[in-house]
Structure 1
Amino acid sequence: MGCIGSSQARNESGVKRKKIRKPKPWAHTEPITRAQLTKMREEFWDTSPHYGGQREIWEALRAAAEAEVTLAQTIIDSAGVIVQNRDLTLCWDERGARYELPRYVLSEPTNLIREQGQ
């Protein structure tokens, strides 16, 4: 049961849904360049369907991870994703498949190195 000021809302079927938010700041284990971060993200998204779940949900999660928060919320709601962690690090689909996203696909690290020419 939530209180009146709860950050959760109900969808059309009456199921509570969490409003998503940007992830908390994080730091990579060592300073990282934009190119390295992009490579890590591409490798994750290329292999994500192999972790299980539905390809369509992985595509929705990627679109949400790359969008602003309000658009991301719409994408998540439209895809029927059940958000366990408001920062999207842990989600489920309506069939019960688990989707775990690393922070590096959701936001920038605090120790991102600016490459020359940027």
Structure 2
Amino acid sequence: MGCAGSSQTKGDENAKKIRKPKPWKHSQPITMTQLRQMRDEFWDTAPHYGGQKEIWDALRAAAEADITLAQAIVDSAGVIVQSADLTTCYDERGAKYELPKYVLNEPTNLIQDG
């Protein structure tokens, strides 16, 4: 027999808990304005890399949210997290989504604008 709770646990085994990405350093110091521009360019072109626009939108929302909200977003969108820091994810159809570190957090060598 089995109980309803046992099947729920099996489904949860595939769900990775996301975490904040490790600190990283850009090849040269950049300003917040430059970082925002890089992020905007990535998100504007991301759907052209393949996959579903809805998943890209969910990943953007998750990347810009705190960890708790980000976890809820990826769970509700059906995103399969391969790397706990969200750098590699899949949708339910198997399409791969790769996020660069610069959309997930700031570099250690971020400098003030101006």
* TM-score calculated relative to the size of structure 2: 0.89
List aligned pairs for 1:60-99, cutoff 5 A.
Answer: 60-99=58-97
User: Which of structures 1 and 2 has the bigger CA Rg?
Assistant: 2
Q: Is this contact kept in 2: 1:11–1:17, CA < 8 A?
A: no
List aligned pairs for 1:45-60, cutoff 5 A.
Answer: 45-60=43-58
Percent identity between the two aligned chains: 70
Equivalent residue, structure 1, for 2:3: none
- 2:89 and 2:57 map into 1 onto residues whose CA distance is 13
More strand by share: 1
Q: What is the CA deviation profile of residues 8-67 of structure 1, one whole-angstrom value per residue up to 9, with x for unaligned ones?
A: xx9688252000000000000000000000000000000000000000000000000000
Task: Confirm whether residue 14 of structure 1 aligns to residue 11 of structure 2.
Answer: yes
Tell which has more relative contact order, 1 or 2 (C-alpha 8 A, sep 6+): 2
- 2:85 and 2:112 map into 1 onto residues whose CA distance is 25
Aligned-residue CA RMSD (Å)? 1.6
* TM-score calculated relative to the size of structure 1: 0.86
> Post-superposition, which runs of at least 4 consecutive aligned residues in structure 1 deviate over 4 A?
10-13
Number of aligned positions between the proteins: 107
More helix by share: 2
Q: Is this contact kept in 2: 1:49–1:58, CA < 8 A?
A: yes
Equivalent residue, structure 2, for 1:30: 28
- 2:68 and 2:106 map into 1 onto residues whose CA distance is 18
